[in-house]
Structure 1
Amino acid sequence: MRLLDTKDTEKLRVQEFSQRYIPSYAILSHRWDEDEVTFEDIKNGDFKQKKGFAKLEGCRTRARVDKYDWIWVGTCCIDKSSSAELNEAINSMYRWYQESAVCYTYLSDLEEIDSLDQSRWFSRGWTLQELIAPHHLLLFDMHWRLLGTKTEHVDEIARITDILRDVILGHRYPGSCNVAQRISWASKRETTRKEDMAYCLMGLFDIHILPMYGEGSENAFLRLQQEILKRTSDQTLFLRTASHEPYNQGLLATSPGAFCTHFECFSWLPPYLAMYDGFWRPYASLIPSNYTPRSLDYDEQTATYSDDHPVYVQSAFGPNGLQ
């Protein structure tokens, strides 16, 4: 793992640390823009004219104020010319954010007075795990003014992202949520490289697959689901919404977008079962059978949601998933 030195105010310097000893570090979460400072730029000493240099200086300054000597920044701490290093970084990303002392979330398109939902940071694929994994997350506007912590803004973040409050706060392990619900958190998000819509979900499922850029988004997402199937018997993986993939004749979805949370796509689910934390959360009530006594079981044409009182929901497996 490479970390960027925050102490040296004259130049940028990255240092590699072995897994045995990694110092306490801050980590940056941001939306990648054009002309970011890369590892190659730092190695060549050619970075001050880059637009992304101001962002690096901002996060390093904040880290110094908070007494952190090191910070991890994805744009410049990974040597992307090495496929092996890039693979390791992608598969380690969730853990790196989880083990950070603090995560600085830089909202480059937001002024202090704006509401959080105006930032595109909440619509990007990789920022999903960057929101959930850190225990301590600070939000900053474009001028590096502190907006608060994710704890202080949890209700607004939950509304924007459809993620459960307890998951955002770290009070609930993401793995306790069913598969469909976790995928649905990415259903409205986008990535620059299409395959990343699958790769950015690996950490939420604690699985590892080899990134293969060029394989296409559908193949990448199918590989992700196949790996999930090896790890769990949670049948909500098949609970995709057919209206978003009308020509898909397979059992597995081709993109996270098939796990939408649109009200009209859940006419088969009693509305009172879809409310959670005061929000419409259609997947939250469907608890995988391998987790708790509450389960969603499929028996011929009837799906049974059982708690103290069973509720029978008419559904069936068809060429377009669960109807």
Structure 2
Amino acid sequence: MKAICTTTFNLDDIPDPSIASYAVLSRQERPVPNRSPSTLDRDLWDTSLIPDVVTAACRVAAGLGINHLWDRSLCVDQSSSAEVSLSINESRQRLESARVAIVYLDDLSAQSLGYNEDDWERCGYWTEAATTTDFILSKRVEIYDSQWNHRCSKTCSEFIPLASNITGVPISVLREPAALANVAVGIRIAWYAAKSSARPEDLIYSLAPILGVEMQIIYGEGRTKAFCRLQEQILHDSRDSSIFAWRAGSNGPEIRGIFAHSPAEFAHLLAYQNTNLAPWRFDSKVRFTNNGAEIRGPVIKQGLFTFLDIRKPTGKDAGSEPRIAIQLRECDGIYVRVGLTSAHTRIPSPPQRQTIDIIRDADPTIAGNLRMHIEKLDQFVNTRGSREGLPDHHQPEEESSMTLRPKEPTGLKRSRSGRPLPPYASRRSLPRVYQGYYSSDSSESESDDSNSESDSDSDDSSASDRLRASSDYEPEEEYILEESNKLHSLRPDILNSVFDSVQICVSTAEYKAPPAPPLKRARTTNWNSLHEDEESSEAFEDPNMVIIPRQRGYFHFSCPYYLRKPEKYQACLLGHDLQSIEDVIHHLQEHHTEPPYCPICRQPFERALVRDNHVRARVCQVSQGEVDGVNERQKRRLEKKDRIQLGETRRWARIWNTVFPGSGDVPEPYMSLGLEREISIIRDFWDANGLDLVSEYMGKQGIPDQHEPEEIAALSKLVLQDLLDRVLRDRPTSSET
């Protein structure tokens, strides 16, 4: 870190800011022509060109016994994207380590006495995103007016209520920045709803430290794209569902993706911090694919609408605060966001946990096409008289007192992929939308040559584009049985009671490789021309498309890394059930990501920032060690080059050659021998019978039926793990036999 010496005004290096004595100058930056030195260039540094405000701040810091001063405009090379990125990602650590933050209000008159709210509120300092971050994260803040008179400290009892009113930040957070962890993500974003920045992206980059995430700095991408990246990064590290609780303005498009476009769309959440600041617990799994955001959570169906339940008040708040859900519409298995609703009416039965795909974002063109598709579906349903009492999706988003009550199912049809169809329509009655129309590869041409097997990007659509069309693909439940739960004590007895049945199944089951795929293949529909071909039957159903769900009795797949290093990656064998090529691809992308590593010594690191510091230190030696994991290019290639019509063996070969290029012969993909085969059989047996066996045992023991279904499912999962561990102790792996 660079900082200005408070006595000589020279620019010095600060090797370790955590132990250095320095202050941070926080001010509304105003350009001063021909007065700034060339930052970070010692040969051109001219102390006579340092702005007066900085020299005055240096004198204040020196008077406090502080040796150095950090100023954003002078101590960061704004022409270096790497330097700017490092500065932003280290801002939280820098502000927390500073001895003091000196806040200079150049538009607070020295004649304004006391704490008149009008005088303080009109200061431009409060309108900027960067200075807001400084004010929140700095532990000690001293405030000076335009004549450098010391006015107060941030935590001054007379000033802190005024500061809270001006910034919207609760007093508890202003007193102790560590309290940010107890504030919902959506509320933190709402604090920046009316903030500004010199460059559009800087508003988002200033918000990142408040949310505890690091971002790559990409100037020129625009505020919306930067904000979408920030939200995706938050969802990688957090299960706070307030990130979904944004509301589009009355002038915004009514059909959207899962991501908000601006912090202003969270402004309505400021009302919640008066009653409950706490994060919203979202006990669900979220991951990102080329289909958008794949979310497994509490879902409620109501006519043409689907609701993703994101906030269920508990305890003392259950009766006074609304339940909140995202309002969605489905387009052939892919969901778009059409609103945010709240309901004070309790749901008599819990929502069903389902996996749904919601697009990341919808630009005006895609939103227009989606709107036409939804209107066409509404028109179709209207002719059947099935739309009575349903909310109008053309209404702007606003608080509504809807009852999120699912209708009773009256019979469920399924497509050939296994996905349930709505009860009001058959598959042939609905427009068919190509699921990949919004992905980054959607503009590539599609070949109609069914015999083509080349690696060309214009071959068939990738098999992963239809991954979510298979009902067999379900992410594992994340419910965890607490250690204090008495059900844990049942595990040894349940294991003993079922072990003989499991062994009989293992000894008698016949497993084999699946048959070759049919010659028919998926034919995609051009989304942009869908409305031009409304009368064509091919727009509703493609007779050439066949998706065969995988059956039990077929070999499961091995993890490529387990095959290569079975001892190191034994967790892949015991903890992950790979029943399809899509499962293998997903497993590699989620659990074998290449870590940041030093290109010199090949040492891996958990964070890129730590790796960068290690490289800059230049203390390591050249090494030829191997770093396991798939990089981003390999991840994209895994999906892009996958083709259903090639058959599982050839698809596996493509995966192996992508992950381990030039490694020679491709091994057998299936777990067909020894321990691996046995574990596959046990998994299938337990998937079909585990819950029944656990429930049967509890019934025989007279255990009261007072446990939640999630608890029984979690217990069943733990017993399965106990089974696998016992088998592992008794049998060697196939690599050892």
- TM bin, normalised by shorter chain, reads 0.7 to 0.9
Residue of structure 2 aligned with 1:119, choices 113, 123, 126: 123
Q: What amino acid sits opposite 1:203 in the alignment?
A: P
- How far residue 19 of structure 1 moved from its aligned partner, in angstroms, is 2.7
Residue of structure 2 aligned with 1:109, choices 107, 116, 121: 107
Aligned to 1:256: 263
Q: Deviations over 1:3-53 (max 9, x none)?
A: 100112xxx31111223774211110011111263543974244645xx61
Over aligned residues, Cα RMSD in angstroms? Answer: 2.6
SS at match of 1:243: coil
Q: What amino acid sits opposite 2:62 in the alignment?
A: R
Q: What amino acid sits opposite 1:96 in the alignment?
A: R
For residues 209 and 78 of structure 1, the distance between their equivalents in structure 2, rounded to whole angstroms, comes to: 17
Aligned to 1:170: 176
Structure 1 residues 275 and 192: CA distance shift in structure 2, 3 A: closer
> Are 2:186 and 1:187 aligned?
no
For residues 298 and 107 of structure 1, the distance between their equivalents in structure 2, rounded to whole angstroms, comes to: 48
CA contact (8 A) 1:135 1:170 kept: yes
Q: Deviations over 1:144-194 (max 9, x none)?
A: 111100111110010011111000111652122111011001011011100
Q: What amino acid sits opposite 1:165 in the alignment?
A: I
Aligned to 1:147: 151
Q: Deviations over 1:257-302 (max 9, x none)?
A: 1111389xx7xxxxxxx472xxxx7xx45532269xxxxx966367
SS at match of 2:95: helix
Equivalences for 1:41-56 in 2 at 5 Å? 43=42, 44-46=44-46, 48=48, 53-56=51-54
For residues 5 and 130 of structure 1, the distance between their equivalents in structure 2, rounded to whole angstroms, comes to: 21
Residue of structure 2 aligned with 1:100, choices 94, 98, 101: 98
Equivalences for 1:34-73 in 2 at 5 Å? 34-35=31-32, 37-40=36-39, 43=42, 44-46=44-46, 48=48, 53-73=51-71
- How far residue 309 of structure 1 moved from its aligned partner, in angstroms, is 5.3
Structure 1 residues 212 and 111: CA distance shift in structure 2, 3 A: same
Structure 1 residues 314 and 184: CA distance shift in structure 2, 3 A: same
Aligned to 2:142: 138
Q: Deviations over 1:207-257 (max 9, x none)?
A: 111100001110000000000000111111011122266215111101101
Q: What amino acid sits opposite 1:260 in the alignment?
A: A
Identity of aligned residues (%): 22
Q: What amino acid sits opposite 2:3 in the alignment?
A: L
SS at match of 1:143: coil
Residue of structure 1 aligned with 2:279, choices 287, 292, 312: 287
SS at match of 1:261: helix
Aligned to 1:322: 340
> Are 2:214 and 1:217 aligned?
no
**TM-score, reference length from structure 1:** 0.84
- Greater Cα shift, 151-160 or 305-314: 305-314
For residues 277 and 139 of structure 2, the distance between their equivalents in structure 1, rounded to whole angstroms, comes to: 26
Structure 1 residues 316 and 64: CA distance shift in structure 2, 3 A: closer
Q: Which runs of 5+ in 1 are unaligned?
A: 267-273, 292-296
CA contact (8 A) 2:40 2:75 kept: no
Q: Which runs of 5+ in 2 are unaligned?
A: 284-296, 301-306, 328-336, 342-737
Q: Deviations over 1:110-139 (max 9, x none)?
A: 113163111111110111210111111011
Aligned to 2:10: 13
Q: What amino acid sits opposite 1:30 in the alignment?
A: R
Residue of structure 1 aligned with 2:248, choices 237, 242, 251: 242
Aligned to 1:25: 22
What is the aligned length? 298
CA contact (8 A) 2:182 2:278 kept: no
Q: What amino acid sits opposite 2:4 in the alignment?
A: L
Q: What amino acid sits opposite 1:313 in the alignment?
A: P
Structure 1 residues 83 and 146: CA distance shift in structure 2, 3 A: same
- How far residue 74 of structure 1 moved from its aligned partner, in angstroms, is 1.1
> Are 2:162 and 1:156 aligned?
yes
- How far residue 92 of structure 1 moved from its aligned partner, in angstroms, is 0.7
SS at match of 1:191: coil
CA contact (8 A) 2:187 2:269 kept: no
Q: What amino acid sits opposite 1:18 in the alignment?
A: P
Aligned to 1:294: none
SS at match of 2:58: helix
For residues 21 and 183 of structure 1, the distance between their equivalents in structure 2, rounded to whole angstroms, comes to: 28
SS at match of 1:88: helix
For residues 228 and 88 of structure 1, the distance between their equivalents in structure 2, rounded to whole angstroms, comes to: 19
- How far residue 81 of structure 1 moved from its aligned partner, in angstroms, is 2.7
> Are 2:97 and 1:91 aligned?
no
Structure 1 residues 76 and 258: CA distance shift in structure 2, 3 A: same
For residues 245 and 18 of structure 2, the distance between their equivalents in structure 1, rounded to whole angstroms, comes to: 43
For residues 124 and 38 of structure 1, the distance between their equivalents in structure 2, rounded to whole angstroms, comes to: 24
For residues 71 and 21 of structure 1, the distance between their equivalents in structure 2, rounded to whole angstroms, comes to: 14
Structure 1 residues 246 and 143: CA distance shift in structure 2, 3 A: same
CA contact (8 A) 1:47 1:53 kept: no
Structure 1 residues 287 and 80: CA distance shift in structure 2, 3 A: closer
SS at match of 1:126: helix
CA contact (8 A) 2:21 2:98 kept: yes
Residue of structure 2 aligned with 1:207, choices 213, 219, 229: 213
Q: What amino acid sits opposite 1:164 in the alignment?
A: P
Q: What amino acid sits opposite 1:94 in the alignment?
A: R
SS at match of 2:75: coil
CA contact (8 A) 2:104 2:146 kept: yes
CA contact (8 A) 1:236 1:286 kept: no
For residues 67 and 323 of structure 2, the distance between their equivalents in structure 1, rounded to whole angstroms, comes to: 58
SS at match of 2:142: strand
Residue of structure 2 aligned with 1:198, choices 194, 204, 215: 204
CA contact (8 A) 2:102 2:144 kept: yes
Aligned to 1:313: 322
SS at match of 2:129: coil
Aligned to 1:82: 80
For residues 17 and 174 of structure 2, the distance between their equivalents in structure 1, rounded to whole angstroms, comes to: 29
Aligned to 1:271: none
